[in-house]
Amino acid sequence: MYIVDNYGWAVALCIVTMFCWGSWGNTQKLASKTWRYELFYWDYVIGILLFSLIWGVTLGSFGEMGRSFMDDLAQVGASNFRSAFFGGVIFNASNILLSASISLAGMSVAFPVGVGLALVLGVFINYFTMPRGDATILFAGVFLIVLAIILNGLASGKMSKGAADHVTRKKGVGIAIAAGILMSFFYRFVAAAMDLDHLESPASGSMTPYSALFVFATGIFISNFFFNTLVMKKPFAGESVSYKAYWRGGIKTHSVGLLGGAIWALGTACNYIAAGKAGAAISYALGQGATMIAALWGLLIWREFKGASRPVHCYLVLMLVLFIAGLALIVISGGN
């Protein structure tokens, strides 16, 4: 299997993660013109599962280092399997909420609030579980990101147009907060299933990043029959939607969702193989810099803050500056 052998390359892969995690939401925005997000989400989940399998039998099986994908799956211990699977269940619950928030408040609000909160809480959880890097610099970077999240919330509040829009945005922000709290926990369960300190010769019963991604994706897929069915019947907005509507979608419509899942899964795959050199806390934090990427998509491409006042623009510019500064400190912390 392919293994990352230096910190610089690990950081580069985490930057790939950042762009993938921050960009998959564009496929939901594209599909939303003709497709409910609950239906899009089924294709998104299937895309994640298919990509994880392809990733495992290719990059996870080539080369002489470590165990191959199939050999690793055959020897995994029950506790590690449950840990990665449960991580997928937690992630799925949080990501469905994030998708709902995108549909209500837009990418430039849902990601900075939801994923930004997940970044802050997740860094604490992952660092104290598997400490690596300079804690002072790492948490200073996290503090700057907290300030950026607050500024985004202020900007969103000033953009509400009328009472109905204010209620919708407020509901979207609330759902994003719930998503962020849940999302902060999933990574530690997947990381715990892997032997990140010895990827070249992982301990018996533990997973490689490739098998962990597949089991994690399986947890997402299976739990989706419960979570997504629930939101289809009891949606956060609009009327309920049936499975019959899903089968009416054309190939182009379904392909957009599959692409979204593959984009997210590519970012996750890069993050997992980078965690061996960068550490779980730093890899997670850099990947969740996706908040900045998603905010830029929402601002520049989808024009979600079109017509905003000067104070709102000032908030948004300062938000991006603080995010970039915070992420820079997180990178520096890993080299100390």
Q: What is the mean pLDDT of residues 254-258?
A: 96
165 pLDDT above the threshold of 70:
no
82 pLDDT above the threshold of 90:
yes
Q: Return mean pLDDT, the chain.
A: 88
- What dihedral do alpha carbons 252, 289, 184, 128 form, nearest 10°? 150
163 pLDDT above the threshold of 70:
no
pLDDT > 70 in the chain, percent: 96
pLDDT > 90 in the chain, percent: 49
Residues 170-184: tens digit of each pLDDT:
888 899 999 999 999
Q: Which residue has the higher pLDDT, 78 or 197?
A: 78
11 pLDDT above the threshold of 70:
yes
Q: Which residue has the higher pLDDT, 7 or 43?
A: 43
Q: Which residue has the higher pLDDT, 13 or 166?
A: 13
Q: Which residue has the higher pLDDT, 232 or 62?
A: 232
Name the pLDDT band for 162 (thresholds 50, 70, 90): low
Name the pLDDT band for 242 (thresholds 50, 70, 90): very high
Q: Which residue has the higher pLDDT, 103 or 91?
A: 91
**Is-above-0.95 flag for pTM?**
no
335 pLDDT above the threshold of 90:
no
The pLDDT, as a whole number, for residue 249 is 92
Tokens of 274: 């980078």
